[in-house]
Amino acid sequence: MIQTGSVGGGPIGVFDSGVGGLTVLRALRAALPADDFVYLGDTARLPYGTKSPESVVRYSLQCADALVRRGIRCLVVACNTASASALGTLRLRYPSIPVIGVIEPGAAAAVAASKSGHIAVIGTEGTVAGGAYQTEISRLRAECRVSSRACSLFVSLAEEGWTEGRIVEAVARRYLEPLFAPGAESADTLVLGCTHFPVLAGAIRRVLPSEVAIVDSAASTAAAVLGQMRLQSQPTASGRPARGSVKWFATDGAARFARVGATFLGEALSPDEIEIIDL
């Protein structure tokens, strides 16, 4: 069933620096319920966002190698920092495997959703400073205006599991109100440009004007992977069990991975299921 590096059989490989990518995996499992997945969280070296681009490329290649050795048929880079820095290198290294990051699908969905051409992007400090969404949005639609803001507390709120209620809404209001001040110039689309943020989407929705579209890059990435799978010759779910499996790998801390990861995955996860590997 597992073929190394070939399009067709084999699981879909997903990696991130930690647990945030589990929102992408969750969206992928919803889109491709019968498929098998391999998830790798490089928890020993998180966060990637503060590392140099050279280090992020090196780590990403190590993560991808570990997944390719497990016979994946598609590689999903479920990490904004790695998507911004390493996608080109990964595509060169694995020409026979589709490599899909989170930035291109998120940017494309935002460009499609925005009527006014003013798009707001929120992410970590590293993602916002790197400007990868801005670059990709401009490439797709040159006249788009992009406003962005780092929302570092959203990461901690998501990891703490404080995803609903008064505190998260107050934080969201403080971060987002300046981006969506009433007026003709206000953005009409918000990109959740961090894999941690989809778990806060409910609270974020409640503090935004109702006309603002929210683009969840985890969902957009899952849609891109689904499109890619349909391009492949073998139909993705034919003759497969109703619910595919997930193999779990991390580079450190199975207990924390399982505990914090459950918020992002949306279901319980046991530390015993997670294999700790060296890269």
CB of 200 to a copy of itself, least distance (A): 13
Cβ proximity to a copy of itself, 93 vs 256, nearer residue: 256
Give the binding site for a copy of itself (CB under 8 A): 43, 46, 50, 52, 125, 152-153, 155-157, 159-160, 162, 166-167, 170-171, 174, 252-253, 256
Cβ proximity to a copy of itself, 199 vs 215, nearer residue: 199
CB of 160 to a copy of itself, least distance (A): 6
- 79 is a catalytic site residue: yes
The dihedral built from the CA positions of residue 47, 222, 234 and 7, taken in this order, carries a sign that is: negative
- Of 63, 144, 151, 194, catalytic: 194
CB of 47 to a copy of itself, least distance (A): 8
The dihedral built from the CA positions of residue 240, 224, 68 and 254, taken in this order, carries a sign that is: negative
Q: Which residues contact 14 (CB under 8 A, 6 or more apart)?
A: 21, 24, 25, 28, 37, 38, 39, 40, 67, 75, 76, 78
**Pair 195, 21: CB distance under 8 Å:** yes
Torsion from C-alpha of 139, 145, 146, 147, nearest 10 degrees: 170
Going by C-alpha positions, the residue among 148, 196, 194, 198 that lies closest to residue 175 is 148
Cβ proximity to a copy of itself, 43 vs 114, nearer residue: 43
Cβ proximity to a copy of itself, 108 vs 194, nearer residue: 194
Torsion from C-alpha of 142, 175, 78, 34, nearest 10 degrees: -100
- Of 63, 74, 79, 151, catalytic: 79
C-alpha–C-alpha distance, residues 76 and 14, integer Å: 5
CB of 43 to a copy of itself, least distance (A): 8
Cβ proximity to a copy of itself, 70 vs 173, nearer residue: 173
CB of 38 to a copy of itself, least distance (A): 23
Q: Which residues are catalytic?
A: 79, 194
